[in-house]
Amino acid sequence: MKAYIFPGQGAQFVGMGLDLYEKYPLAQELFEQANDVLGFHITDVMFEGTPEDLKQTKVTQPAIFLHSVILSKVMGDDFKPDMVAGHSLGEFSALVANGTLNFKDGLELVSQRAQAMQKACELTSGTMAAVLGLEDKQVEDICDEVDGIVVPANYNCPGQLVISGELQAIEKACEVLKEAGARRAMILPVGGAFHSPLMEPAREELALAIENTTFNTPACPIYQNVTTTAVQNSDEIKKNLMSQLTAPVKWTQSMQHMMKDGGALFTEVGPGKVLQGLMRKIDRTAITAAAEISE
């Protein structure tokens, strides 16, 4: 079975999507529609902006969404997913790819998500840290022991877990994790504590937008970050998407369930190769590929 996986924040690069814009009339049409929907020329930032410009949350999230979704659309008949999943932001790309959301609604939700997250980041001093070389349970236990808000946020692959929370709590957790034998416990250059309780204001704002958006019955199941198992009921998809901002991204578990349910070829659709790398660490038998467009 063909599984398509969609990357999240961090995969962006200057020049992303320009090849699609120049080559495909459909891509050009969708990029121009995106400029209108967003109210600014995101194409200028994507194609020729500075890395600093592209790093702004309000730009990064729609940019990665656009690259992924437009790439899937120009693949035409070659794009036939049996199952999809997306890492955090990538879940929105996956939901457009499997027909749950239309292009415009998906883009508007991503834009609202980015702005809501930015506002939540400005309310409290939060951050994230990557922890390498410990079992998930060890990291979870240490998070529980540390004072303040610090929680597992991204289960990326075995031995790689990202934690999220209040700045001081994260700093303390990193000290304890290193003492416990972590190969690395490194604070990440991110704007806030994503996938933690500190994102509650953003979750409330986004939940309202999701509630007012039409979700169609998907063409194939999505393995959502929150539940990790196949979902095809649009109401359930909505509910899980509402929980996503304050809940951990259970990527390892999602990929394991896709493999168990028959996923054989995992194609990454969007910028970068991060998810292919993670997949090889999750299960060495999985076949991975980057999305390709026929000449």
The number of angstroms, rounded, from the C-alpha of 51 to the middle of its chain's C-alpha atoms is 19
Q: How far is CA 26 from CA 1, 36, 75, 87, 222, in A?
A: 28, 16, 11, 25, 25
Residues 6+ apart with CB under 8 A from 181: 133, 134
Strand locations in 167-242 (E): 184-187, 222-223, 230-231
DSSP 117-171: HHHHHHHS-EEEEEEESS-HHHHHHHHHHSSSSEEEEEEEETTEEEEEEEHHHHH
Catalytic residue numbers read 88, 195
Q: 20: closest CA among 35, 32, 8, 2? A: 32
Q: How far lies 222's CA from each of 25, 60, 202, 283, in Å? A: 29, 23, 23, 19
**Residue 111 has which token pair?**
């834009």
The SS3 call for residue 19 is: helix
Asked if 234 and 137 count as a contact pair (C-beta separation under 8 A), the reply is: no
